[in-house]
Amino acid sequence: MRLTGLIAVLLLIAGCSRATVEAPEPSPTGPSAPSISSAPPSPTPSSSKPSKPSAPPAAGAAIADVIAWIEAGRPADPAGYHKATREGEVTDLIDDVAFTVPAGSRRATTCMTDSESTDSALACVVDLVNPPPQPEDIYGQWKGGWIDYGGNTLRVGSAHGDPGRFLHGDGAELPDGSSLSFGDYRCRADRVGLFCVNYAHRSAVLLRPEGIGTFGCLHPVPPPADAAKLFSCAS
């Protein structure tokens, strides 16, 4: 009897455990799903290029601003500036560069490189309004507007008994707003004057009839006996 009663209890428990597990009723709006936005992701803003300078650098401007102004000029093809002309005769300067920059009512500024020079890679003759006077101990033909720019030095005024590197004449005109690259230099012609930078020494100059300006490391130092002014990057 006890065995029969035990079996009856077990059958009762098994019947109670057969409860049906029903799935939850769907909501009136349908089954929920992960939300996916149909709008495309916002693009990551790219870094914008710095705007080109709108005006020439003033006296005392940072060298970075001067370089930016020069590099904003229209690049000229250096191939057009390897010749010099004198009285109709054209000379091929091979690796050297020559160019001229208009100077309004005054004579154009003329520049030329000399790969064989140990003192100055770039020389320019500027028709200065007030050229420095000839030093007392200097003899010969004094040219107060002769500029020697070697990058780490700038000499103003020099005595020359002959045209020197300008023996073959002048180079082609560098138009206003154009820039010319050669060696460690880059120059830009502008209505204000001629801006030139030397990348190796991070120095720059402004050549114009009204006077000579310097930027970067160039600062005035006592000139030698054969020059009127000297600027140097040396401390």
List the structure tokens of 128. Answer: 């200065």
Distance between CA atoms of 100 and 175, rounded to whole angstroms?
9
Phi, psi values for residue 166, rounded to 5°: -90, 15
Q: SS3 for 221?
A: strand
Note the pTM of the prediction, 2 decimals.
Answer: 0.76
Distance between CA atoms of 213 and 156, rounded to whole angstroms?
11
E strands within 87-121? Answer: 89-92, 98-103, 106-113
Q: Would you give per-residue pLDDT tens digits along the chain (235 residues)?
A: 444 443 443 333 444 444 443 444 444 444 444 443 444 444 444 444 557 777 899 999 999 999 999 999 999 999 999 999 999 999 999 999 999 998 877 889 999 999 887 767 899 999 999 999 988 888 778 999 999 999 999 999 998 877 888 999 999 999 999 999 999 999 999 999 999 999 999 999 999 999 999 999 999 999 998 899 999 999 7
Question: Among candidates 144, 88, 79, 151, which has minimal Cα distance to 117?
Answer: 151
